[in-house]
Structure 1
Amino acid sequence: MFDLDVVTLSRLQFALTALYHFLFVPLTLGLSLLLAIMESVYVMTGRTAWRDAVKFWGVLFGINFAMGVATGVTMEFQFGTNWAYYSHYVGDIFGAPLAIEGLMAFFLEASFVGLFFFGWNRLSKVGHLIVTWLVALGANFSALWILIANSWMQNPVGAAFNPQTMRMELTSFVEVFFNPVAQSKFVHTVSAGYVTGAMFVLSISAYYLLYRREHRDLARRSANVAASFGLASALSVVVLGDESGYTAGFNQKMKIAAIEAMWETEPPPASFTLIGIPDLETQTTRFKIEVPYLLGLIATRSLDTPVDGIKPLVEHSQERIRNGMSAYEWLTARPDGAAAPIPPDLQASFKDLGHTLLLKQFRPDIENATDEQIHQAARSTVPNVPVLFWTFRIMVALGFYFILLFAATFFVASRRRLRHNPWLLKLALYSLPLPWVAAELGWIVAEYGRQPWIIDSVLPTFLGVSNIPAHNVLASLVGFVLFYSALAVVDVALILKYVRLGPPSEPRTPAPEPDRILVA
């Protein structure tokens, strides 16, 4: 049973709002680019059927975009309400990409969304096409800056602790922007969004081809684009996900070990556990089926570099906790308002100050911590192994399923046999929710796997919360659940309404009536 303290409630609230908001982000990314591709075909060919397709999918994009805005704005307010110390401690760094996202990406996207909907009869074909591409560009820019901010939490580069202000401060924006975690996370996340958009278009097109005769031309065209785009995107997700694993193998070794349920360091190259049952009591993984060499290649790109296990990493955390004690003692021994710089011999100790702060959850006077409390703090660096183990494997299995589905659809569509394969169309229709499941699981792996850190190795999560009563957070959590549930009902109802309506029927020239022959 959870202890519903302010830390747990704040984490639960942010997790729920983030996961709900992330239902709309992938579809916005995927649909915006598909709209740009379809309109490009319209401008190049002049066929009005492509324009009608853009308008139809654009309506569904608009519904999703509005919901994404409504759910995204509330998330940023939580940094000030529920995570005040976090905002104080790293606001100079974390706030910079968020501000750029709001000024450059969000306003760019939102401004051109209006032109997209109301500019069909006011802009030239090329002018409107440019607007549509700018909408897609704005959506991707928005994701870029958000992921730069999030990746800094996973790998805090370009920043340093200032003992005078007792805060983390920015030292190099270039390092923050070119954070290797940010680069790999961005391309992996947007590719997952493209898969979501492609599946959305393919599934609804399959519905029309199966059950709606009047919209089959639009469905056939849309399905062709979605199948080819989805196949390329699904392949990209797997390749770029491998790159994310490589970067995590350097800066988040505990996350990799937990995902693999690897308790001991294996001789290189480490094997990848395809499936198994993690046992927390014995700290082993039972009934393992392994793929030789694969984990070593993913995490280290070599055959002779070991991948550290959970137990050795816990021992290393104990060393870092002890090493950071010197920095903590120096800070607490200074007189109030002292502005002395960090002594050179303590520079290494300050790199481990975050680990020492883990002791705060066991006793306030951490300089007097016992060996057992230090060991407890080190054990707290291990995230929930079974959750990460199974979440990651379900996500990966879905990724390979998407490749097979899009490949089969692309092959059949290229032979103009899609309408004659109802089993494949039904499979595509029923697969509609799966990209969202994969995206949410990926977010859980990234965020839950970072625990117990809100900023990896710098600030423990329990220290980042605001000093407010738990019942205040509980009240706002209940409010968010009710409000977001209402939004979910509205969103689903609107999408179903416009899917049932379909695109506007093209006017048809009535067939000439046959001559009437009067028979006497």
Structure 2
Amino acid sequence: MDSGVIDLSRLQFALTALYHFLFVPLTLGLSFMLVIMEAIYVMTDRPIWRTITRFWAKLFGINFVLGVATGLTMEFQFGTNWSYFSHYVGDIFGAPLAIEGLMAFFLEATFVGVMFFGWDRLSKLGHLVVTFLVALGTNLSALWILIANGWMQNPIGAEFNPETMRMEVTDFVAVLFNPIAQAKFVHTVSAGYVIASVFVLGISCFYLLRGRFPEVARRSMTVAAAFGLASSLSVVVLGDESGYVLTDNQKMKLAAIEAAWHTEKAPAGLTLFGLPDTEARTTRYAVEIPWVLGLIATRSLHGQVTGMSELVLRAQERISSGVVAYDAVEKLKLDPKNTQARAAFEQHKHDMGYALLLKRTLADPREATPQQIAATAWDTVPSVPVMFWSFRIMAFIGFAMIALFATAFVLCSLRLHGQARWFWKLAVLAIPLPWLAAELGWVVAEMGRQPWAIDGVLPTFLAASSLSRTSLWITIIGFTSLYGTLAVIEVRLMLSAIRKGPYDHHDEQQPAPGPVPASSPVAA
């Protein structure tokens, strides 16, 4: 396979995935914020809360449409750009995607129309139930997608069948309750809640800066402060859980994140800052906090964080073992009743994916020399500088979000948020930050899995379709142009809705714009 085709295929999927993920987390978070706002309306029967809910629902709807449109494109790419991936693991990977479409997406899509057009046709409680079902469907969609992605990170509950030459499900319950998938789901949805909270907080503060719709802005700010503080704290806690899961299931990813070139004496220290040098295989100018990494990663004083050099030696052993499995499969193709080959395959089958790494340079992995095996073992190390800095920027933003929402929560609790002009400016400037953190989170998750499409099972360079560079460049340019156009439309629609504000012709009459009184009280 042409390495340029692989790189372009990865680039195309990365562009569409990162673009799609601009919309998904906002949808996840806004859906449940709408439930909170509408629940307050149902409990208090105050028309202002109906106005608030409908306003944020309008922005949710604009974002929802773009998320659906970009998500469909991604799923088609599995068949067009990653056809061997689809053939090799389609029995496992396709099941969560099908369930997502049949159960979660249809639930969400069915009720979203009722949510928008049922305000005057349903009772208040009935409409709240519909809004909750939309939020539930939205988050269930994320669950099934992340179960599929989690299996790519930790492929349990499935085995290679030498008769069909494909991976097949052996334990679907294990696929569903994959620890990587569960950790990714709670961490990802919490990140979405933070993004939505910053979005609501920032726009509310923008209104307060302009002296517009203060009664809507103050109440929205209060909801965002409480929801955002809980979400930002959960992101850090659940992120720690995700890191703990990596200790057992994705040791190489964890080592790359921490630029741990060698195994240190337990408990290992955490590198706050440094310049990873991939040539010298060391981290220059490292600033380290003793013990912290060992405590976080193993939750003990005696657990070790295995370094990349030691993991490469293990990969070398697994490549050699995988060659035995590969040889057995080739013999079983010729003679399915060869009991000796069958026994050899059963003994070494879990390492066969490592032998496939040799296919980057060799047509037949069985011809590999010890030197080629040793060199290929280093291919299992992802880009350390990318992993190291992406994670640290993401983590820094995460802690900054805690500080932002803690400040907002204190101001709202003390009823000072109606006069904290300095904070309003800060909240508006902070709007892009959680999106940046979320995108970097996906970079860490997906780049950290390289060189695997399915970790330890299928190398990325074997998963792609047989396409030409020309066709890939055409589609990349086409998608970029299309998504650029959609981005302009999205931003214009959002800005138009924000400029118009929360009041429609049938809502309560909005007050005239004016400065926010310094002592304005906060209504419940």
Length-normalised TM-score, structure 1: 0.95
Deviation for aligned residue 1:345: 4.3
- Which residue pairs with 1:507 in the alignment? 509
Tell me the SS of whatever aligns to 2:131. helix
Deviation for aligned residue 1:63: 0.3
- Which residue pairs with 1:163 in the alignment? 162
Greater shift, 413-422 or 217-226, is seen at: 413-422
1:38 and 1:156 map into 2 onto residues whose CA distance is: 40
- Which residue pairs with 2:430 in the alignment? 431
Matches within 5 A, 1:47-58: 47-58=46-57
Contact map agreement 1:164 1:339 (CA 8 A) in 2: no
Deviation for aligned residue 1:478: 1.1
- Which residue pairs with 2:522 in the alignment? none
Greater shift, 141-150 or 316-325, is seen at: 316-325
- Which residue pairs with 1:288 in the alignment? 286
- Which residue pairs with 2:185 in the alignment? 186
Say what the alpha-carbon RMSD is for the aligned residues.
Answer: 1.5
- Which residue pairs with 2:271 in the alignment? 273
Q: 1:411 to 1:164 in 2, by over 3 A?
A: same
Deviation for aligned residue 1:299: 1.6
- Which residue pairs with 1:6 in the alignment? 5
Length-normalised TM-score, structure 2: 0.95
Greater shift, 297-306 or 147-156, is seen at: 297-306
* 1:481-514 Cα distance to aligned partner (Å, 9 max, x none): 110000000000100011011011632799xxxx
Task: State the percentage of identical aligned residues.
Answer: 61
- Which residue pairs with 2:93 in the alignment? 94
1:94 corresponds to which letter in structure 2? F
- Which residue pairs with 1:229 in the alignment? 227
Structure 2 regions of 5+ residues with no counterpart?
513-524
1:390 corresponds to which letter in structure 2? W
Deviation for aligned residue 1:424: 0.7
Contact map agreement 1:318 1:374 (CA 8 A) in 2: yes
Tell me the SS of whatever aligns to 1:254. helix
1:339 and 1:93 map into 2 onto residues whose CA distance is: 27
* 1:393-436 Cα distance to aligned partner (Å, 9 max, x none): 00000000000000001101111111211111100001001110
From 246, 249, 273, give the equivalent of 1:248. 246
- Which residue pairs with 1:347 in the alignment? 346
1:106 aligns with 2:105: yes
Contact map agreement 1:164 1:340 (CA 8 A) in 2: no
- Which residue pairs with 2:480 in the alignment? 481
Q: 1:356 to 1:415 in 2, by over 3 A?
A: same
Runs of 4+ that moved beyond 4 A: 339-342
Tell me the SS of whatever aligns to 2:330. helix
1:212 and 1:57 map into 2 onto residues whose CA distance is: 19
- Which residue pairs with 2:307 in the alignment? 309
Matches within 5 A, 1:192-211: 192-211=191-210
Structure 1 regions of 5+ residues with no counterpart?
511-520
- Which residue pairs with 1:324 in the alignment? 322
Contact map agreement 2:324 2:344 (CA 8 A) in 1: no
1:209 corresponds to which letter in structure 2? L
Deviation for aligned residue 1:4: 6.7
* 1:16-69 Cα distance to aligned partner (Å, 9 max, x none): 000000000000001000000000000000001000000000000000000000
Contact map agreement 2:81 2:465 (CA 8 A) in 1: yes
* 1:221-272 Cα distance to aligned partner (Å, 9 max, x none): 0000000100000000000000000111111111011111111100011111
Contact map agreement 2:320 2:355 (CA 8 A) in 1: yes
Matches within 5 A, 1:333-344: 333-336=331-334, 338=336, 343-344=342-343
Q: 1:75 to 1:242 in 2, by over 3 A?
A: same
Contact map agreement 2:3 2:461 (CA 8 A) in 1: no
Tell me the SS of whatever aligns to 1:160. strand
- Which residue pairs with 1:360 in the alignment? 359
Give the total of aligned pairs. 507
Matches within 5 A, 1:377-396: 377-396=376-395
Q: 1:84 to 1:150 in 2, by over 3 A?
A: same
- Which residue pairs with 1:83 in the alignment? 82
Deviation for aligned residue 1:200: 0.3
Tell me the SS of whatever aligns to 1:419. coil
Deviation for aligned residue 1:437: 0.2
2:511 and 2:302 map into 1 onto residues whose CA distance is: 72
